[in-house]
Amino acid sequence: MTATVPIRTSEAFQKCLSPSCGATFDVGEVRTSCGDCGGLLDITYDWRRLFVPDSLRWFEAKWSRRNELLARSGVWRFHELLPFAPPEKIVSIGEGQTPLHSTPGVARYVGVGPDNLYLQYEGMNPSGSFKDNGMTAASTHARMVGAKMTACASTGNTSASLAIYAGVSGLFQCVVFVGSGKIAYGKLSQALDYGAKTLQIRGDFDDALARVREVCEQHPIYLCNSVNPFRLEGQKSIMYRVMEGLGWQVPDWIVVPGGNLGNSSSFGKAFQELHQLGLIDRIPRLAIINAAGADTLEVLVNNQSLNWNDGRSDADLIRDFYGTMDAENRRAHTLASAIEINRPVNLVKALRALSVCNGVVRSVSDQEIVDARAQIAAHGFGCEPASGATIAGVRQLREEGIIAASDRVACVLTGHQLKDPDLTVAYHMGDPKRQAEKLHPAGVHSTPFANSPVVVDNDTNAIVKALGL
């Protein structure tokens, strides 16, 4: 969709990420790339002309008005930090009321001090994943420009989120593109239930994203993938809430799974802005964790030294990497289907985030992911496999001595446990057929944290015996 609705504010605008281009566009333009050079876009603000509180504590006062939706939403109660939309256009379903939890049990598993590990539980969002933070912002912009139809490609959570916003607001028809056989059932069921037109593309996520971008360019359909810069504005609020949970202190580390790299990009932007505005005095380090079967960022950064380079990252290196990937027909493959992505669209933005946050990238195996996921759940926090990558990543970084036991670490649990029950059941049940189908092809051969059910006769004595009473 390309449309322009003049928005009568010059305090917010879209700006090309590339410093050698730097083209700017009105907030009323619908764009997912720079019209001049094709680069990614940021939403930029002229903060001098906007009200910015002098302390993050100022936001606490909004809680006393929590009967008002925009003061209650965990995204829009930070509206002053993403001031691109007038209040009357905001599409909110009360997203972002997600807590930061301290968890000594998981801290022990990763080897940091008992009070030093925190989980930002984004699975508690209305559609069960962090995507709602971004979708409220994208839906708001879609409303500002008068869109009638929204679309996305998805590994499942974006589509669930898009569909819930279209369904609750009643403002948009929506269509979702998913790879066939590549989506966890919890997520597929949401898109279908909320009434999204669902296209199962014969291909994977990378194919589905390429197709939806083409269709949205040619037709009046508003694209809500994370190439949409407005979406990422909403996702910044996850970091505001992490700090809120720490009494407005900055942790030492933020750890996040890396898929399309929207989250990590938005976190980098959030901290960069807060620092520029004088609202924080230091920036945490960022660890982006790839699945080993979908490790484009990790390989490019760690093996090929790709970096932000002040906005002049090596485009030829990236092009060659994808060229070889295509020539070898290498496809992403991981049990953490949410991050089964080989062509992360926000790659360059994530490089900026790594630079801003002195970040690191690691990849973890599916075995490490499912074990970490089981450990998180065993301590009461149900999350899907992709989120487990964070804890597997912290373990690795502890072993390397990069994260210290005394560091305060906040991991983002991006999606809820009930998104992917098949995998959880395969892990715990100890059923050889299920494990051979689901776990072994991904290299998962042991389930050390399985809590297998005990099969027992329908007989009280047998039950008492099984209980060891």
User: For binding to ligand F0G (CB under 6 A), which residues are involved?
Assistant: 129, 131, 154-158, 226, 257-263, 338-339, 384, 386-387, 414-415
Collapsed DSSP state (helix, strand, coil) of residue 312: coil
Name the DSSP letter for residue 79.
Answer: G
81 and 53 Cβ atoms separated by less than 8 Å: no
Q: What are phi and psi of 361, to 5 degrees?
A: -125, 140
Nearer residue to ligand F0G within complex by CB, 9 or 127: 127
Nearer residue to ligand F0G within complex by CB, 81 or 256: 256
**Beta-carbon neighbour count of residue 68 at 10 Å?**
12
Nearer residue to ligand F0G within complex by CB, 7 or 183: 183
Nearer residue to ligand F0G within complex by CB, 254 or 279: 254
Nearer residue to ligand F0G within complex by CB, 73 or 157: 157
Nearer residue to ligand F0G within complex by CB, 140 or 225: 225
Nearer residue to ligand F0G within complex by CB, 62 or 343: 343
CB of 337 to ligand F0G, least distance (A): 9
Q: Kindly give, in sequence order, each residue whose CB lies less than 8 Å from that of residue 409, ignoring residues fewer than 6 positions away.
A: 110, 112, 116, 117, 118, 251, 252, 253, 255, 394, 403
Nearer residue to ligand F0G within complex by CB, 46 or 422: 422
Nearer residue to ligand F0G within complex by CB, 131 or 362: 131
**Beta-carbon neighbour count of residue 246 at 10 Å?**
15
Q: Kindly give, in sequence order, each residue whose CB lies less than 8 Å from that of residue 198, ignoring residues fewer than 6 positions away.
A: 159, 175, 176, 178, 188, 191, 192
CB of 340 to ligand F0G, least distance (A): 9
CB of 129 to ligand F0G, least distance (A): 5
- Sheet of 285-291: strand order equals 100-102, 117-121, 409-413, 253-257, 285-291, 360-364
76 and 48 Cβ atoms separated by less than 8 Å: no
CB of 288 to ligand F0G, least distance (A): 8
Give, to the nearest 10 degrees, the angle between helix 262-276 and helix 347-356: 40
241 and 398 Cβ atoms separated by less than 8 Å: no
Q: Is 426 exposed, middle or buried (0-12, 13-18, 19+ CB in 10 A)?
A: buried
CB of 150 to ligand F0G, least distance (A): 14
CA-angle at 13, arms to 10 and 16, nearest 5°: 145
Nearer residue to ligand F0G within complex by CB, 143 or 231: 231
Collapsed DSSP state (helix, strand, coil) of residue 413: strand
CB of 152 to ligand F0G, least distance (A): 7
CB of 158 to ligand F0G, least distance (A): 4
CB of 128 to ligand F0G, least distance (A): 9
- Token output for 65: 């008005």
CB of 380 to ligand F0G, least distance (A): 18
Computed on alpha carbons and rounded to an integer, the radius of gyration of the chain in Å comes to 22
CB of 125 to ligand F0G, least distance (A): 11
Q: Is 401 exposed, middle or buried (0-12, 13-18, 19+ CB in 10 A)?
A: exposed
